[in-house]
Structure 1
């Protein structure tokens, strides 16, 4: 699994890891935004994260496509180095 992904809408994300959703017992991907956001962490079901999306008039494309560090814009690379705020901080 890559560490960095570009969402099909163009924003960049860093995968923290996978986790168990105790309500569904399904696997989820835990990831953070690499841009200013109201929330620090997000989860999405594993199959959805690595699935494809269909948009009118376009071929199916990955919801999140892996990218190399060198492919990310400067803002995204800078945010990788930003400390991730955790609860209680």
Structure 2
């Protein structure tokens, strides 16, 4: 006779639920960060948000590594 584990489907569902919630939290956090960025113009914000929605992990990684920092100005470095 085969043994049936009733907790396996529950663990499977819980795992995918946690992954989905973390995925959604990443998209929301990145979208909020994009919208709050003062150095990014409106059209660029729309492009960033579309990228984050289309490719959540890559788009978020790109935003937090490339887009969230203001462009450096060509002035003298502070001493």
TM superposition score category, shorter chain reference:
under 0.3
- Structure with a larger share of its residues in helix: 2
- Structure with a larger share of its residues in strand: 1
